[in-house]
């Protein structure tokens, strides 16, 4: 049964009041597994994922610790620049992946926004996009873990065009690296390791680097 709905402050574009469930309110006012700013260095994560951009809206950063023996997520921390719905959705996601001893990676990769919203008791229609950030950040963090642990064959491309077949690096990975501050080929290689072994990928990497730098920064 969905949680009891509670009227939130404000109205939608149709003049109707928005409604938030008790679960949404709980995870917004008392977020679970939130990593406080300044504590990032002290949390030794196995993988980190960042999606979105504060320049154009919500941004999400999510860290995971994974037990390599069981392939389960043992800890999940996060930070977000976003609204109440984004905070609540990510808080709930962080609970879902570590409850009952931790979720196996293959199961965590199957989590979709609908699963998060179901646990929250629903979200207002115009806020559904907020639940998308969390699962995208989780997949990015898991992919980061796969890269760092040498499990390149397990990387999930998430529909992007593969630029480096050996490491399964996509154009979306290059785009995100630029959003994270990469400005040179060396920056890209330091973050993604791409183009070091497979040098044939370098021309396309450099082309994408120029494209995304101009797209986002005009340079």
Share of the chain above pLDDT 70, in %: 83
Catalytic residue among 56, 76, 83, 213: 56
| pLDDT for res 6 | 42
Q: Where do the structural domains in the chain lie, given as residue ranges?
A: 5-151, 157-217
Q: What is the residue-wise DSSP string for 174-199?
A: HHHHHHTT--SHHHHHHHH-TTSS-G
pLDDT band of residue 100 (cuts 50, 70, 90) is very high
Q: What is the mean pLDDT of the chain?
A: 82
Kindly give, in sequence order, each residue whose CB lies less than 8 Å from that of residue 13, ignoring residues fewer than 6 positions away. 126
Catalytic residue among 76, 83, 130, 213: 130
Q: Are 27 and 91 in contact (CB under 8 A)?
A: yes
CATH, domain range 157-217: 1.10.10.1100
- Classified as helix, coil or strand, 139 is helix
Q: Is the pLDDT of residue 89 over 70?
A: yes
DSSP classification of residue 104: B
Element (H, E) at 86: helix 84-98
* 146: nearest Cα among 78, 48, 33: 48
Q: What is the pTM of this model?
A: 0.69
Q: Is 130 a catalytic residue?
A: yes
* 209: nearest Cα among 5, 69, 195: 195
Q: Is the pLDDT of residue 123 over 50?
A: yes
The highest-level CATH class for domain 5-151 is alpha beta
Tokens (6 digits) for 40: 């990032």
């Amino acid at each position: 049964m969905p949680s009891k709905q509670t009227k939130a402050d404000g109205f939608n574009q149709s003049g109707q009041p928005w409604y938030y469930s008790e679960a949404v309110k709980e995870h917004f006012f008392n977020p679970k597994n939130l990593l406080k700013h300044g504590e990032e260095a002290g949390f030794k994560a196995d993988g980190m994922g960042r999606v979105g951009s504060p320049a154009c809206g919500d941004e999400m950063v999510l860290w995971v610790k994974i037990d390599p023996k069981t392939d389960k997520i043992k800890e999940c921390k996060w930070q977000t620049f976003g609204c109440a719905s984004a905070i609540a959705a990510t808080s709930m996601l962080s609970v879902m992946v570590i409850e009952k001893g931790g979720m196996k990676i293959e199961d965590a990769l199957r989590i979709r926004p609908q699963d998060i919203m179901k646990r929250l008791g629903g979200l207002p229609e115009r806020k559904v996009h907020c639940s998308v950030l969390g699962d995208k950040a989780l997949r990015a963090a898991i992919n980061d873990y796969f890269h760092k642990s040498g499990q390149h064959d397990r990387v999930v491309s998430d529909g992007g065009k593969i630029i480096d077949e050996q490491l399964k690096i996509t154009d979306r990975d290059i785009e995100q690296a630029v959003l994270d501050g990469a400005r040179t080929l060396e920056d890209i290689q330091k973050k993604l390791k791409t183009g070091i072994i497979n040098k044939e990928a370098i021309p396309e990497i450099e082309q994408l680097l120029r494209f995304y730098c101009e797209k986002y920064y005009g340079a």
